[in-house]
Amino acid sequence: MCGLLGLVCPSEMDAAAARAAVGAAMRCQRHRGPDESGTWTGGEAVFGHNRLSLIDLESSHQPLVWGPPENPQRYSLLFNGEIYNYLELRAELAERHGARFFTDGDSETIVAAYHHLGEASVTRLRGMFAFLIWDSQRGTLFGARDQFGIKPLFYAAGPGGVAFSSEKKSILELAPVIGVRQELDRKSLQHYLTLQYVPEPATMHTQVHRVESGHAFTLVPGERPVFKRYWTPRFNPTPVHGPADAEALYGRIVDVMADSVAKHMRADVTVGSFLSGGIDSTAIAALARRHNPDLVTFTTGFERQGYSEVDVAAESAAAIGVKHVVKTVSPQEMMDALPLITWYLDDPVADPALVPLWFIAREARKHVKVVLSGEGADELFGGYTIYREPLSLAPFERVPGSLRKFMGKVSTRIPEGTRGKDLLRRGSLSLEERYYGNARIFRDDQLQQVLRTFDPSVSHRDVTAPAYRESVDLDPVTRMQHVDLFTWLRGDILVKADKVTMANSLELRVPFLDPEVFRVAATVPLEQKITKETTKYALRQALRRVVPAHVLNRRKLGFPVPIRLWLKDEMFDWARDIIVASQTDALIDKNAVLRLLEDHRAGALDHSRRIWALLVFMLWHGIFIERRISPRVPEPHYPVRL
């Protein structure tokens, strides 16, 4: 687990100056790898690396130089992540291809696989990764990002070269070197206020982009990178005929999850686990304890009834027999920490849950270097409550199209907050029109009230259309899952998971997001995912012998944050101060935002998520555009409690 930074320049570059620039740009991502850092220069490439050492602690330094006997210095590797099948892959490469290894780590496996298997090697990697390989013999760069987009990889291309990094901040530091502008992308802002995140491959800066999940690329110096999608998730629901078929499915789910957790436990340091109180994280912790009887679990909560799973998580920890650590977060702590967290995020993410996650990551880092977590279970096994919406809207599907349009017009005349208004509106829309992921912050009519320049040509369908085209032959629920894999999961869930844990130099591993787990989850039929009573039905049935009974059928809660209440009381003045001080007048009607805040306090409507999205953006703008806000970034120093 690390932070990487690669710069590929034309051949006439000043090597010393480029290396100095890379070294300076690495400083703003030192939290990703506080254990050691290093740089390397060769040909047209300059590499920099911040390492968090977890496997093969004494070796596997990066940048890692490797090659066959006839050219032992041929390749140089930068790698962020973990390859969980590296032992099996090393053995195969040695046996079939005579590959030689000089370390005990997983990094060497990547470059050896690339040498012997070529670009197809990336399909053999089971893990989370972003990497760059410079081939000095060919003078080319090859890189890739993992299948689900667990680990980040940003890039920017300009006349002075192409930069790749785990952190956008580092690329912004190199912007003058490569010749790219640091200007805000208004289209990304509009998407953000709709979705609560900036969708891939864009960022909030026009000339900085993300390498998309499941993509690899090649780069020749002086040219732009050429991308190729090497993996596409394919759901393939398979009918279950009778109890025997169902039990066989449940058995496959348990087996593949147990195998995934076992591989995710591979480390030369202590591994802990987040424990929210729900079935996903509890299952991960219970399976992890089989490999580490001294497992430590971590949870967070608030002193607000209905907004904490602390008691349930503690009960779960006791039932599976693990040590448990709790961090309670106050509204003042959230207000104090949000500017720093926003700096770590690189781009705004308006998910309030990332704040308590940041606090529990900070607490966990006092005990361990690695934690497991349950991200991905809902997308793979059908866990979100909204996945039941096609069942509730089924009667609307039988209504003629013209009448459905009329129903939609009627819904616009119903006052906001009236019961049934949104049901009528959503029932009048097709799946492609109404569903664009779990978060829906501002509707277009609401955006027009706060944005100075609303662009009607910018639509969520710009983001979701490819996923809908790929899933046209699937049932509505599975299509929603497919959309979420390319939107909500990689835009919100995995961004916050990576950013706030790495902000604390803590590696987070997600055993549900494993290609082998997906291979089984993809076969689960609709009736084994969603019922009238519950979600994730097959997963719950499969885990009934793994998790305590009290969490088996609990509704999803996660790390809920009481911002609806706090923005009326403890956070009201704080929020108002952020709005008034923000220099976003050219983008946002601040008077309209202040009215939202006042209306929210009056209690007529709940505007908390919209207000929060605007507050996070205003803080982000103050840090990265105005340069008015400068959070104090602590040095990454973590004395571990034994």
Distance separating alpha carbons of residues 198 and 180, to the nearest angstrom: 20
In three-state secondary structure terms, 611 is helix
- Using alpha carbons only, give the angle 155, 228, 127 rounded to the nearest 5 degrees: 75
Closest to 530 in 3D by CA, of 378, 376, 375? 378
Distance separating alpha carbons of residues 527 and 591, to the nearest angstrom: 48
Q: Give yes or no for a contact between 374 and 281, defined as CB atoms under 8 angstroms apart.
A: yes
Distance separating alpha carbons of residues 357 and 344, to the nearest angstrom: 13
Residue 39 forms beta bridges with which residues?
48
| Phi, psi at 219, each rounded to 5° | -145, 130
How many other CB atoms sit within 10 Å of the CB of residue 640?
11
Per-residue b/e over 520-559, b at no fewer than 16 CB within 10 Å?
bbbbbbbebbbeeebbbbbbbbbbeebbbeebbebebebb
| Residue 575 CB-half CA count within 13 A | 29
Residue 144 forms beta bridges with which residues?
131, 216
Length of the chain in residues, anyone? 642
Q: Give yes or no for a contact between 487 and 195, defined as CB atoms under 8 angstroms apart.
A: yes
Q: Which of 1, 2, 256, 286 is catalytic?
A: 2
Distance separating alpha carbons of residues 149 and 115, to the nearest angstrom: 24
The DSSP line for 420-466 is THHHHHHHTS-HHHH-S-S-----HHHHHHHBSS--TT--THHHHHH
Q: How far is CA 638 from CA 355, 453, 503, in A?
A: 20, 45, 12
What tokens were used for 228?
Answer: 């190729």
Distance separating alpha carbons of residues 16 and 392, to the nearest angstrom: 64
The DSSP line for 8-24 is E--TT--HHHHHHHHHH
Annotated catalytic, 28? no
Distance separating alpha carbons of residues 487 and 279, to the nearest angstrom: 23
Return the amino acid letter for 233: P
Q: Give yes or no for a contact between 45 and 10, defined as CB atoms under 8 angstroms apart.
A: no
Q: Give yes or no for a contact between 531 and 390, defined as CB atoms under 8 angstroms apart.
A: no
Closest to 290 in 3D by CA, of 325, 263, 269? 263
Return the amino acid letter for 283: A
Helix residue spans in 231-353 (DSSP H): 242-264, 279-289, 310-320, 331-345
How many other CB atoms sit within 10 Å of the CB of residue 446?
17
Per-residue b/e over 268-282, b at no fewer than 16 CB within 10 Å?
eebbbbbbbbbbbbb
Distance separating alpha carbons of residues 40 and 63, to the nearest angstrom: 7
Residue 154 forms beta bridges with which residues?
165, 210
Mark the binding-site residues, compressed into ranges: 106, 373-374
The H helix count followed by the E strand count for the chain is 28, 17
Residues annotated as part of the active site: 2
